[in-house]
Homo-oligomer: A and B are copies of this chain.
Amino acid sequence: MAEVAESTLQDLEARFQEGDIRALARALTLVESGHPLGQALLKRLRGKGQAKVVGITGSPGAGKSTLTDRLILEARKRGEKVGVLAVDPSSPFTGGAILGDRIRMMRHHQDPGVYIRSLASRGALGGLAGATVAALNLLEAFGFDRIFVETVGVGQSEVDIARVADTTLLVLTPAAGDAVQAFKAGVMEIADLFAVNKFDLPGGERIVQELKSALELSPPRPGGWRPPIFPTVAATGEGVEALFEGLEAHHQHLLAHNLLEAHRKERARFEVESVIQEWGRRRTREAEEVIAQVAQGLLSPEEAAKALLGLRPGSGNGEGPS
């Protein structure tokens, strides 16, 4: 049995290395479903390839998918092979509308230089899943020059994407409250670039001014990067070329200041944290008895955590595993 799996793995890896897009699709499915073969393949392929990874985030309805669609065109004009990961919230309320947006991107399905994959986000608001980063690693190993990761939603997933991507683009609109939302939620700090999309709507100039003022108060970024602001109208393509050049400028900044490696380490750190978090989630689901004891005050959460992870009881001072 193990030998069969081994030969399947080698066959899949060989086809993957040859650039067979069906091998990529199969590998992504294996990884997303947590299949051991996917884990094994990932281990062989990790660290191969070097894509420019761009995270695109912002509130629902900001036009992220349409903007991504336009950015793909810009990348293709420059001869880049492009991968896209679109992370959907799994809520039944959102499925419909988002699929509608995604359909616009389907024109790229005729283009062999573009590969688009939708991923379910486990738990509507649970941030970016470890499986998303695993998928990203596969796309990178496949040899794409540029990978866009579009995260729908608000909150944790925006912070997560900034840890995973090399360059993070925050998409806002002139809609009332959109900028305020960004300031309040602390998302300002994580964006390397801003797009004020739907700039043809009233209030675009005002939001650009508000952003500028807020950014002046914001702490300096590594290497002295000042996040630029790009007015765009994704529906017509207006401003998208300048935005793409902005993405490129940020990548050059990372290279010039030796910052890319730090980004890659942060991504690895995120992956390891996600694994530990997922273990914690699974173990606490399974251990009804231990959890009941915590609820009754018989065990502290720290004692329960040690027991669930199979650590020696009483090791350390309750502040972590020894």
Chain A: residues with CB nearer than 8 A to chain B?
A: 34, 36, 39, 42-43, 46-48, 59-61, 89-94, 97, 123-127, 130, 152-159, 175-177, 180-181, 183-189, 214, 217, 261, 264-265, 267-269, 271-277, 279-285, 288, 290-292, 294-298, 300-302, 304-305, 308-311, 317-322
Across the two chains, which residue of chain B brings its CB closest to A267?
A: B295
Across the two chains, which residue of chain B brings its CB closest to A124?
A: B186
Contacts of A310 in B (CB 8 A): 311, 321-322
Contacts of A89 in B (CB 8 A): 184-186
Known contacts A157-B155, A268-B294, A297-B47; decide if A305 and B276 are in contact (CB<8 Å): yes
Known contacts A180-B61, A185-B124; decide if A130 and B301 are in contact (CB<8 Å): yes
A158 touching B320 by the CB < 8 A rule? no
A-B contact pairs, 27 of them (CB 8 A): A34-B319, A60-B184, A90-B186, A91-B185, A91-B189, A93-B183, A124-B159, A125-B155, A125-B156, A125-B186, A126-B156, A127-B156, A130-B301, A153-B184, A155-B157, A175-B176, A264-B295, A269-B291, A269-B294, A271-B294, A272-B284, A273-B284, A276-B276, A276-B277, A276-B280, A276-B283, A277-B280
Q: How far is the CA of A138 from the CA of B294 in the complex (A)?
A: 15
Contacts of A322 in B (CB 8 A): 310
B309 touching A309 by the CB < 8 A rule? yes
Indicate how many identical chains form the complex: 2
Nearest-Cβ distance from residue A272 to partner chain B, whole angstroms: 5
B318 touching A39 by the CB < 8 A rule? yes
A282 partner, pick from B214, B308, B320, beta carbons under 8 A: B320
A265 partner, pick from B59, B156, B185, B292, beta carbons under 8 A: B292
A294 partner, pick from B185, B272, B290, B302, beta carbons under 8 A: B272
Nearest-Cβ distance from residue A126 to partner chain B, whole angstroms: 7
Nearest-Cβ distance from residue A25 to partner chain B, whole angstroms: 22
Nearest-Cβ distance from residue A139 to partner chain B, whole angstroms: 15
A94 touching B39 by the CB < 8 A rule? no
Q: How far is the CA of A226 from the CA of B90 in the complex (A)?
A: 22
Q: How far is the CA of A48 from the CA of B297 in the complex (A)?
A: 8
Contacts of A268 in B (CB 8 A): 291-292, 294-295, 301, 304
Across the two chains, which residue of chain B brings its CB closest to A315?
A: B310
A180 touching B279 by the CB < 8 A rule? no
A153 touching B153 by the CB < 8 A rule? no
B276 touching A279 by the CB < 8 A rule? yes
